[in-house]
Amino acid sequence: MSNLLLVIFDLVLLAGLLGVAWRCLASTDLFRAVVLFITFGLLLALAWVRLEAPDIALAEAAIGAGITGALLLVTLERLRSIAVERRRGRPDQPPDPAGADALLHALHDPPPPRRTFVPALSFALVVGGLMVTALWHQPDAVGLEPVVDEHMGVSGVDHPITAVLLNFRAYDTFLELAIVLIALLGAWSLGRYDRLPARPAPGPILPGTLRLLVPVAIVTGVYILWAGSHAPGGAFQAGAILGAAGILLVLARPRDLPMAPSTPLRLGLTAGVGLFLAIGIVGLFIGPGLLGYPPEWAYPLIIVIEIAATLSIALTLVALFIAGRPAGDDH
Amino acid sequence: MITFYLMAALFLLATILLGLIRVLRGPGSGDRMLAAQLFGTTGVTILLLLSMTLETPALVDVALVFALLAVVAAVAFVRQHGLPEPSGTPVHQRKNDQKTESDDDR
Amino acid sequence: MEWLAQQLAPGLIYPTAGALLFALGLYGLIRRHHLVLRILALNIMGSGVFMVLLGIAARGEGAPDPVAQALTLTGIVVAVSATAFALALVVRLARITGQAMMLPGPPDDEAPVDDISREEHAPSAEYEREHRE
């Protein structure tokens, strides 16, 4: 009975996921698409739970619910305020070549023309069909679970995913931290920080909510980081939660955002990559190899790296949310 | 008991799919956002029920994070849209010509 | 019933749904023009890939493959930072050109008449009538 119910749950969940994704991509109203995408993230977290991946569900909850939604909403508002500005025709800007009508597109995408329907559909069907066929004929493999299990003793932690991320495949995590940093550098290269578009929200509710929630979010983030050594959790999830707390703080006062001083900010942003690389190089000389640790030192080293990585990921996510270099460091 | 939990989870999932009607039809952006917030709450409950049925205590952490962070999108929405709009206005026409420059949100 | 439940094990239906999500995202990526929608389409494609990975990892008896899960975790964080960068690029593009869409180039009279994308970006008469007032 409960097996059958689980199967029904899976089928309803997947139907919901596909339906939400389809309506999201078919929306002409961008705001609706964004709200549907937030819902998609929620359903996705439930799907990860069903696939026995609570770590991924944690990351999806923090990133999908906390960060992506706010990021997309703020982007829409930025696009709208750009459209309004251009419509007004600022004197220091050349007149808009496409005319004022083009601005209507800022938050709307007209339905796609019919002539791309058949090629796009057939291409997607071929790709999807190939994938489904390949997946159905793929034999069951044991995977790397036994190998990981066998070496848990030397990993220094008790949670297999943390062991894989920070010990067995530390390369991946190191390069991932580097990619996150590069994404931030890319965003910074586009120009300086400009104020988040924000409307006044009078009343005590918003400040009160933030005052309550931000400390709780910080405690939760630290808890998830600590839990990572023996249970689902770890640096990414904790970084995402702390980043969401930072985004809440940014949203609390978007007009007069107090900018972090430049040097500590940059040190914090690079702490994860830097420390990881330093420990990795030390491992090259006295340990088993580049990014390897001596087993008896593995636990403290992993904790140190995780703390630094959490800090960096959180700061980077907030900086990516703000987008643009901090004001006042042009030298 | 497990069967009951699962049925409850299934029912809640069905209410999410029903609530999607509000997201799809709107009419105002507030309606859509509020429906999404409601999904967040329902999702927390489904996670807790699943944590009982699948016997994975870690899911409680996931539910905690969800409950905590679902508000971020709501705060972003409130920040971008301010006070409620009269319903029925197409989104792209709203507040186009009254971009607020006042700093009365402090 | 039990046979059906076995056939519809998570290890099979989730990868299938992941492949469908990927195809759906691909379809949206080709057809939609607004860049924010295209970024959403890319994200949906990415989620499909993650679902395939995790679904395969959950196959068989015993605990799921932790390496696949760790890879997915890495992928999610990379995806969110790439999304944030892409959205920053879209805002920058809109600031420069006034459009959040891919335009084939600066509008000029020499552009070939049968250039599909240019034609599409001109708002249609009905669309204008609908959204004017």
pLDDT digits (tens, 9 = 90+) for B29-87: 888 888 888 999 999 999 999 998 888 888 899 999 988 888 888 888 888 776 554 45
Domains of chain C: 2-132 (1.10.287.3510)
**Does residue A146 sit within a domain?**
no
Q: How far apart are CA A233 and CA A306, in angstroms?
A: 11
Coil vs helix vs strand at A126: helix
Q: How far apart are CA C61 and CA C72, in angstroms?
A: 20
Give the alpha-carbon dihedral of A260, A266, A269, A271, to 10 degrees.
-120
Kindly list the averaged pLDDT for each block of 10 residues, start to end, along chain A of length 331: 84 93 89 91 92 90 87 87 73 51 62 82 91 83 79 82 85 90 90 73 78 90 88 88 89 71 84 88 81 80 89 91 71 45
Note whether A24 contacts C73, CB cutoff 8 Å: no
Strand partners, A192: A325
Give the pLDDT of residue C44: 94
- Per-residue model confidence as pLDDT tens digits over C8-20: 787 788 999 999 9
**Does residue B21 sit within a domain?**
yes
**Does residue A144 sit within a domain?**
no
Structure tokens, A116:
């791309």
Chain A residues 170-199 with a CB less than 8 Å from chain C:
172-173, 176, 179-180, 183-184, 186-187, 190-191
Give the pLDDT of residue A231: 84
**Does residue A275 sit within a domain?**
yes
- The total of structural domains in chain A comes to 2
Note whether A236 contacts C80, CB cutoff 8 Å: no
Give the pLDDT of residue B95: 45
Q: What DSSP string runs through C56-122?
A: HHT-SSSS--HHHHHHHHHHHHHHHHHHHHHHHHHHHHHHHHS-SB--SSS--TTS-TT-HHHHHHS
DSSP A102: G
Give the pLDDT of residue C49: 94
Q: How far apart are CA A192 and CA A237, in angstroms?
A: 29
Give the pLDDT of residue A19: 93
- Residues A49 and A196 both lie in one domain: no
- Per-residue model confidence as pLDDT tens digits over C58-103: 887 777 888 888 999 999 999 999 999 999 998 888 888 777 776 5
- Residues A191 and A52 both lie in one domain: no
Which DSSP helix (H) or strand (E) runs through A248? helix A235-252
Mean pLDDT of B85-101: 44
CB atoms within 10 A of CB A101: 14
Q: Which has more confidence, C67 or C118?
A: C67
Reply yes or no on whether the pLDDT at C109 is more than 60: no
Give the pLDDT of residue C107: 52
Coil vs helix vs strand at B52: helix
Q: Which of A232, A164, A59, A47 is nearest to C73 (CA)?
A: A59
Coil vs helix vs strand at A131: helix
Contact yes or no for A305/A276 (Cβ under 8 A): yes
- Residues A326 and A192 both lie in one domain: yes
- Residues A56 and A159 both lie in one domain: no
- Residues A104 and A210 both lie in one domain: no
Last residue of a domain, one of A45, A76, A109: A109
- Residues A31 and A158 both lie in one domain: no
- Per-residue model confidence as pLDDT tens digits over A47-103: 999 888 889 999 998 888 779 989 998 888 888 888 777 777 655 555 554 544 444
CB < 8 Å to B72, chain A: 65-67, 69-70, 244, 247-248, 251
- The total of structural domains in chain B comes to 1
- Residues A33 and A102 both lie in one domain: yes
Contact yes or no for B10/B46 (Cβ under 8 A): no
Q: Is C60 left (phi over 0), alpha (psi -120 to 50) or beta?
A: left
CB < 8 Å to C100, chain A: 79, 105-106
Give the pLDDT of residue A331: 45
**Does residue B60 sit within a domain?**
yes
Give the pLDDT of residue A43: 92
Chain A residues 22-51 with a CB less than 8 Å from chain C:
22, 24-27, 30, 33-34, 37, 40, 44, 47-48, 50-51
Note whether A10 contacts C13, CB cutoff 8 Å: yes
**Does residue A137 sit within a domain?**
no
**Residue A224's domain spans which residues?**
152-331
* Residue A127 distance to chain C (closest CA, Å): 6
Q: What DSSP string runs through A210-227?
A: HHHHHHHHHHHHHHHHHH
Strand partners, B58: none
CB neighbours of A296 closer than 8 A, spacing ≥ 6?
none
Instruction: Report which residue type is found at C88.
Output: A
Last residue of a domain, one of A78, A109, A140: A109
- Residues A301 and A216 both lie in one domain: yes
Q: How far apart are CA B40 and CA B67, in angstroms?
A: 7
Q: How far apart are CA C71 and CA B101, in angstroms?
A: 45
Contact yes or no for A239/A321 (Cβ under 8 A): no
Looking at chain C, which subunits does it touch, using at least 3 CB pairs closer than 8 Å as the criterion? Answer: A
Closest in B7, B73, B105 to A69, CB measured: B73
Which DSSP helix (H) or strand (E) runs through A17? helix A2-26
Give the pLDDT of residue A199: 72
CA angle A48, A52, A56 (to 5 degrees): 45
DSSP A194: -
Note whether A136 contacts C41, CB cutoff 8 Å: no
Mean pLDDT of C28-33: 87
Q: Which has more confidence, B106 or C79?
A: C79
CA distances from C102 to A75, B74, C120 (A): 17, 30, 11
- Residues A102 and A156 both lie in one domain: no
ipTM of the complex: 0.88
Mean pLDDT of C18-30: 92
pTM, rounded to two decimals = 0.86
Q: How far apart are CA A104 and CA A21, in angstroms?
A: 24
Give the pLDDT of residue A261: 76
Give the pLDDT of residue A114: 80
**Does residue A119 sit within a domain?**
no
Note whether B72 contacts A67, CB cutoff 8 Å: yes
- Residues A249 and A301 both lie in one domain: yes
Q: How far apart are CA A10 and CA A194, in angstroms?
A: 44
**Residue B33's domain spans which residues?**
2-82
**Does residue B105 sit within a domain?**
no
- Residues A181 and A45 both lie in one domain: no
- Residues A85 and A181 both lie in one domain: no
**Does residue A125 sit within a domain?**
no
